Amino acid sequence: MQMLLSCLFLTGLILATAVQLVLWLGVYARLARYDPDQEPASAPEEGVSVIICARNEAENLRKNLPHILNQNYRSYEVIVVDDDSSDESEKIILSFQKNYPILRPVLVKDKKQPGKKAALSLGIKEARYEKLLLTDADCRPASSEWINRMQAAFTENVNIVLGFGPYLTHSGFLNRFIRFETLFTAIQYLSLALLGLPYMGVGRNLAYRKSLFDRVGGFKRHGHIAYGDDDLFVSEAARGGQTAIVLQPEAFTFSEAKSDWRGFYFQKSRHLSAGVHYRPVHQALLGVSAASHFLHYACFVALLLSGDHLLMALSLFIARMAVVTWLYSRVSERFRESNLLPWIPVLDAALALYYFLFSPVLLIKTGNYTSWKQ
């Protein structure tokens, strides 16, 4: 019986490792080979509407609005949708408006529709310009060139621009894991975009044309889902040749990660639940990636505990880890996350456990998540 189990675990390890190597070398390596220096540094300054949805974000608005209102860009407006806040958000927005005419508040009272999409739709409706650049109230652009870098990617055939929104670095394992998971998610969605299969972006740093939003009917097809204003929209509206990515560090937006496990669990449950609404091809690719990642570790640990096929198991484990570490070393430097490199073996194993723990969210519908901000 033990011999049969050992053979099954070895077969599982071989298959899972093979799938992982194909994904890392055939798909994710595209991002490692991508050169951000080929991105346009600037373009004719066409109007840009920056849209921020805020709900009880008074302190974040006070800290981050100055970085957005003082961009090195001539023709832009900043639309802040105050989504029925109960704190001092409205007061702070109006105080900034006195000194910045480009700031246009949209005040939502007695909110009737749950989620962020209704607020974002209002902001888009009010936008004067064709190019929309979205971020969140808790995000701070990395530089005054953020708008310039993101809008420069809008060549004639580009309708969607995907940016990167890392989290600020702090001590502690939770912060490291959140940054690592964010980095891996970026590797996935940016690599697939380069492959011509864009499926998501992050609302912290995402741009698209207003005409595209109108053409696909806005959030109409998934308006009943409170979440997914970024990934579900991109999954529906994006086409390979019409999507660009921007990885210049000047174009990043930074935000604070969750500081407790409970908050992180709620946030990821909400985000991951959107995955069941992705296109079948995207669900298949992401599902195979997660399943093979977990199976690789599960079978490896099982063989270690049994003491069987140790040489083969170690060889397969080391082969995958070498490829993964190499790619992370290339990508993490580009994304200014090099301090994660010593932790890659631990974080990669933790990611496999993360997939197992969150698998119920991926397999069944959990919760309504009607409130995008508390």
Residue 240 has pLDDT above 70, yes or no: no
Q: Name which of 144-153, 172-181, 260-269 the model is least confident about.
A: 260-269
CA distance 28 to 151: 25
Residue with tokens 């993490």: 332
DSSP H helices, the chain, are 2-23, 29-33, 58-69, 89-97, 117-126, 146-152, 173-194, 210-215, 231-237, 261-273, 280-306, 310-334, 344-363
pLDDT category at 373 given cuts 50, 70, 90 is low
Domain regions of the chain by residue span? 2-33+281-363, 38-264
Range 223-246 average pLDDT: 80
What does DSSP assign to residue 167?
Answer: B
- Residue type present at position 87: D
CA distance 50 to 68: 9
pLDDT digits 0-9 by tens, 88-133? 999 999 999 999 999 999 999 876 666 788 899 999 999 999 999 9
pLDDT digits 0-9 by tens, 156-208? 889 999 999 999 999 999 999 999 999 999 999 999 999 999 999 999 999 99
Percent of the chain with pLDDT over 70: 93
Three-state helix/strand/coil letters over 291-347: HHHHHHHHHHHHHHHHCCCHHHHHHHHHHHHHHHHHHHHHHHHHCCCHHHHHHHHHH
Distances (CA, A) of 178 to 56, 159, 335: 23, 30, 14
Q: Name the helix (H) or strand (E) containing 364.
A: none
pLDDT digits 0-9 by tens, 273-288? 777 778 889 999 999 9
Taking phi over 0 as left and psi of -120 to 50 as alpha, with beta for the rest, 242 belongs to: alpha
CATH hierarchy code of domain 38-264: 3.90.550.10
CA distance 208 to 201: 11
Least Cα distance to 167 among 357, 339, 350 occurs for 339
Rounded to 10°, the helix 280-306/310-334 angle is: 130
What is the model's pLDDT at position 366?
46
Greater model confidence, 267 or 185: 185
